[in-house]
Structure 1
């Protein structure tokens, strides 16, 4: 998609609206920013009216939000982002330092993600087709919560084995464990998306002709990889920005002074200059990453999209015959069925942190509550909500993907905002309730699906068969409903299914950070947050909900494997005369 002045203006308007909206955050939330800032400065100081009046006068809060916002915007051309309301230091150097930390962490995590994606696709690259159980391991990996992976790596590799440092940020060795926690799930998702496209590339005429001529398979695989990457680059760009600003939980676990953690702390303290500057840095990074992704896609495809010289990557495939999805669904249903009759709130302090037994198959937590009961009751809410959000994200992503000039800047802007900050903004607007996590996830969940839809449609519109059909006079609606959507919907639907565990993880992450469900709710994120301090003493308290999340990931990949391009009958692929366009 080529940039245009209208697209650039739309992108600028969205960025300005977001930054200005953040400047109004305390007034939208109807809270006293002076009180919040005072608590952040000194929690022990008594908030007397005189003290609060002094804070308001120092920060200029009595003037209202618009003069404050105007002064902050006026300083940006000079490189002045104001001073922190909490520490009093200059904001620009602080945000730049945090951005440098996040960029280094993102670079190492991206290297881990690329290596992980290569391992996921290794069999397909080597043979040209996927196995019947391809992706189960990657699904389990993608479904593991980042904060849980980070905690396990820090405890086992950092503390118990002492191989790598587990806390702080003092050099390259401190990047390894957090980069693994971030890069492994991201690489598993990217690898599955790439693995979904590779068989179509190996089935194209050029690949079959090259194999018939005896060209080495390695060269064919390299060209097949190059053929598939343009459809994946927009999502890779979203991952880059997401790894930079969305690594809040990992930065919290490892005490890393990155941009995600900086914006979270600023949002909680209502330190608006830092929060606005951090968000602006993420938006600029998103714009630069998007431009680089589009440039790389154009360089890889060359003039083929313009000339309509591509062949489709989406081909009919036989239905999956593996019984693994049914087995995984049966296991998940059995866990829910066995746990629902139990009381998830029953306390028994005499059985605290008991290991799995016949009476408590998953063990008990720190208050003696049955973990099987809490996981089962939490599944009813978490799974149902994740499925509803997944369907909504799929529909929204496909519809917005049809209009990339509108959706691409919107997706970049939405993706640049960490989900935690979205949750805080939603809380400010709605007042905060049980629906806050769902609304926050719904705001951002559609963006990768819209980017994927746009990328696939851009390539599908440039295929030879579509060029020929268009030359015969087929109208836009006929092409959209009979050719384009049937070609791209299966891939996007598989992508949505792959992100189902990620949706549950996003809800869990908000619960882990205290922005989701509150005790004594059995929501999965809250379960992980409550039991994480006891991971060394009672590992089953953390492993049980994590295993169910991994089971959900494997089930999602198994279900995604059953989504196929429909086999259109010959008469359906013939353009009816009454549907031919009347204009050339």
Structure 2
């Protein structure tokens, strides 16, 4: 009897914790689902992720194989099109649909890596600036202001020119360009939280600076950072495509959407499909991610929650 009675409160607390978590997710999904555009964007984005994961199974052809007897074949519904190449082929006979499918892997990979680097670095620097204040805060924020003073794509081009063309260097450059947004957002959230009662109580209890910053203050600053990460994801894909188009990002024959656009420039008047479909892929992906970000903002920001 003693063991049963002593275990009951622990079980009750665990059940209450589970119920609270379920209620939190239910509330989040309710406000998120109220934004129909966000639901559509999430569906499109989930489809893109599945396509990227199963690209070898979904793609009808190898993206790098050149079919010399099928140069600039139109899409299957156009005059002269072929059902073997649903979206047509490019100037060297590569299947555009297959290259778009494999290109989704590169675009999503770029977004994940860039946002991860910018998020981790931005949160760390922003926490230090907002928590330490004084000269440290002033120095960090002036550096961020200098970065923000330049147009993002121009600064990314300069950094890639210094580091050298390539996909890895392009991701590093884009992460540096996006980082000030996370730094400023984290700093503002820390300034709003650092003098609250729960932080003061943690200080009195003997919590160190590291614990105060990363375990006490940071969890209460995550909501706006999640929204910013989503929007930065789409910016990373767009900037990577722009760098690829300018020849400073992924290099041929990599099936990256911006590089595909760059290779198709000279055929835009006589083979519209080689430009149209990579451009539509970028447009749909960026739009879907932005819609998801808008829905996350509605669900996570209490000021915007609709009754």
- Alignment match, 2:87: 362
Q: Deviations over 1:379-411 (max 9, x none)?
A: 333322331121111100100111331432122
**Contact 1:457/1:484 (<8 A) preserved:** yes
- Alignment match, 1:160: none
State TM-score, norm by structure 2.
0.66
- Alignment match, 1:134: 35
In structure 2, the CA distance between the partners of 1:478 and 1:440, relative to structure 1 (3 Å rule), is: closer
Is residue 2:252 matched to residue 1:523?
A: no
Give me the whole-angstrom Cα distance separating, in 1, the residues matched to 2:46 and 2:63.
Answer: 28
Following TM superposition, by how much is the alpha carbon of 1:338 offset from its aligned partner in structure 2, in angstroms? 1.9
Q: Deviations over 1:541-577 (max 9, x none)?
A: 3332233334433257548967987xxxxxxxxxxxx
State TM-score, norm by structure 1.
0.37
Following TM superposition, by how much is the alpha carbon of 1:501 offset from its aligned partner in structure 2, in angstroms? 2.0
Q: How does 1:24-43 map to 2 (within 5 A)?
A: none
- Alignment match, 1:150: none
Aligned counterpart for 1:387 among listed residues 109, 112, 117:
112
Give me the whole-angstrom Cα distance separating, in 1, the residues matched to 2:280 and 2:34.
Answer: 19
Q: How does 1:47-126 map to 2 (within 5 A)?
A: none
**Contact 1:423/1:436 (<8 A) preserved:** no
Give me the whole-angstrom Cα distance separating, in 1, the residues matched to 2:38 and 2:73.
Answer: 30
- Alignment match, 1:223: none
Give me the whole-angstrom Cα distance separating, in 2, the residues matched to 1:353 and 1:407.
Answer: 54
Which blocks of at least 5 consecutive residues in structure 2 are unaligned?
Answer: 1-29, 77-81, 130-136, 301-307
Q: Deviations over 1:18-49 (max 9, x none)?
A: xxxxxxxxxxxxxxxxxxxxxxxxxxxxxxxx
Give me the whole-angstrom Cα distance separating, in 2, the residues matched to 1:535 and 1:137.
Answer: 33
Give me the whole-angstrom Cα distance separating, in 2, the residues matched to 1:391 and 1:397.
Answer: 10
Give me the whole-angstrom Cα distance separating, in 2, the residues matched to 1:544 and 1:408.
Answer: 41
Aligned counterpart for 2:126 among listed residues 383, 401, 406:
401
Which blocks of at least 5 consecutive residues in structure 1 are unaligned?
Answer: 1-128, 141-321, 566-584
Is residue 2:276 matched to residue 1:543?
A: yes
Aligned residues: 254
Following TM superposition, by how much is the alpha carbon of 1:358 offset from its aligned partner in structure 2, in angstroms? 3.0
Give me the whole-angstrom Cα distance separating, in 1, the residues matched to 2:112 and 2:157.
Answer: 19
Q: Deviations over 1:236-264 (max 9, x none)?
A: xxxxxxxxxxxxxxxxxxxxxxxxxxxxx
Give me the whole-angstrom Cα distance separating, in 1, the residues matched to 2:256 and 2:44.
Answer: 27
Give me the whole-angstrom Cα distance separating, in 2, the residues matched to 1:378 and 1:544.
Answer: 12
In structure 2, the CA distance between the partners of 1:399 and 1:544, relative to structure 1 (3 Å rule), is: same
Give me the whole-angstrom Cα distance separating, in 1, the residues matched to 2:45 and 2:34.
Answer: 10
**Contact 2:37/2:291 (<8 A) preserved:** yes
Name the SS for the 1:456 alignment partner: helix
Name the SS for the 1:132 alignment partner: helix
Whose RCO is larger (CA < 8 A, sep 6+)?
2
Give me the whole-angstrom Cα distance separating, in 1, the residues matched to 2:142 and 2:69.
Answer: 53
Give me the whole-angstrom Cα distance separating, in 1, the residues matched to 2:45 and 2:101.
Answer: 19
Give me the whole-angstrom Cα distance separating, in 1, the residues matched to 2:190 and 2:273.
Answer: 46
